[in-house]
């Protein structure tokens, strides 16, 4: 009988529904309101900068292709993770991530410290066919990204929107977004050609180059020294 005190309330379905609704409202307010007062209280870590125009484009393609469903970007403070991925993630690294891509699933390894770990050519070959890098990889190939020219028609607009959300882009960075993106793409293309990868004009400014720019920017302010060299790097078990 001690556990049946709720039965009278359940018999009054209107009262029960109203009280349930109020409980949900109160709980929702408790979850939603506090974060609004936290805006601006988390400072970027030293040396942290907003993504460049090309990195913003690459990040959007990364999300579009669902890469974040298999790769987390959050190194937890556990020795097994810091030994493999590098220093654990901190809040100040995510201030310019909209939306954040921390994730909770690792079909492939975590990518929060992948920036600079492998050369640009490693990523290019990995997109082309992951099995050429890691025979055990279950990652699908993304060769089509290497032959699809990057659409920069909204690049400037993307930076304008991010600036309204607090990202410290200057007027010059917003005005010259497309030119800056193409300049960075040319730098990556030069790196790829130096490593023996032949590129045509479309490939040199492809979506694949944009994703490489984004990946190479990840976690570079708090990471272990690079461990791979061109042509010899191999992916961790499970593919990337």
Per-residue pLDDT tens digits of the chain, which is 240 residues long:
556 766 777 778 788 889 889 999 999 998 888 877 766 667 888 888 999 999 999 999 999 999 999 999 999 999 999 999 999 999 889 989 999 999 888 999 999 999 999 999 999 999 999 999 999 999 999 999 999 999 999 999 999 999 998 899 999 999 999 999 999 999 999 999 999 999 999 999 999 999 999 999 998 887 655 444 444 444 433 344
| pLDDT score, position 224 | 53
Q: Which of 151, 150, 169, 144 is nearest to 159 (CA)?
A: 169
Q: Which of 124, 136, 115, 107 is nearest to 197 (CA)?
A: 124
Reported pTM? 0.79
| pLDDT score, position 237 | 36
| pLDDT score, position 39 | 63
CA dist 226 → 106, 112, 191 (Å): 22, 14, 17
How many residues are listed for the chain in this entry?
Answer: 240
Instruction: Domain ranges for the chain, please list them.
Output: 53-217
Distance (Å, whole) CA 120 – CA 164: 32
Please list, in sequence order, all residues whose beta carbon lies within 8 angstroms of the beta carbon of residue 42, skipping any fewer than 6 positions away. 91, 92, 95
Question: Domain 53-217 maps to which CATH number in 1.10.760.10, 3.40.190.10, 3.30.1300.10, 3.40.50.20?
Answer: 1.10.760.10
58: tokens are 């690459």
Please list, in sequence order, all residues whose beta carbon lies within 8 angstroms of the beta carbon of residue 159, skipping any fewer than 6 positions away. 53, 56, 167, 169, 173, 174, 177
């Amino acid at each position: 009988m001690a556990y049946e005190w709720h039965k009278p309330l359940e018999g009054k379905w209107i009262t029960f529904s109203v009280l349930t609704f109020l409980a949900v409202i109160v709980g929702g307010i408790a979850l939603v309101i506090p974060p609004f007062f936290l805006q601006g209280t988390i400072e970027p870590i030293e040396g942290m900068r907003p993504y460049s125009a090309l990195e913003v484009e690459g990040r959007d393609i990364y999300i579009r292709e669902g890469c974040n469903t298999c790769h987390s970007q959050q190194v937890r403070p556990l020795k097994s993770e810091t030994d493999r991925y590098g220093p654990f993630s901190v809040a100040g690294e995510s201030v310019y991530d909209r939306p954040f891509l921390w994730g909770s699933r690792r079909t492939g390894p975590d990518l929060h410290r992948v920036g600079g770990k492998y050369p640009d050519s490693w990523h290019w070959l990995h997109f082309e066919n992951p099995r050429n890098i890691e025979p055990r990889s279950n990652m699908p190939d993304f060769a089509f990204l290497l032959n699809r020219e990057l659409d920069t028609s909204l690049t400037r607009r993307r930076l304008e929107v991010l600036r309204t959300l607090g990202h410290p882009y200057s007027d010059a960075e917003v005005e010259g977004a497309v030119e800056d993106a193409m300049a960075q793409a040319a730098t990556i293309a030069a790196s790829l050609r130096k490593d023996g990868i032949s590129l045509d004009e479309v490939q040199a400014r492809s979506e694949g180059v944009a994703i490489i720019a984004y990946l190479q920017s990840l976690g570079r302010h708090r990471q272990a020294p690079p461990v791979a060299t061109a042509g010899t790097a191999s992916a961790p078990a499970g593919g990337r």
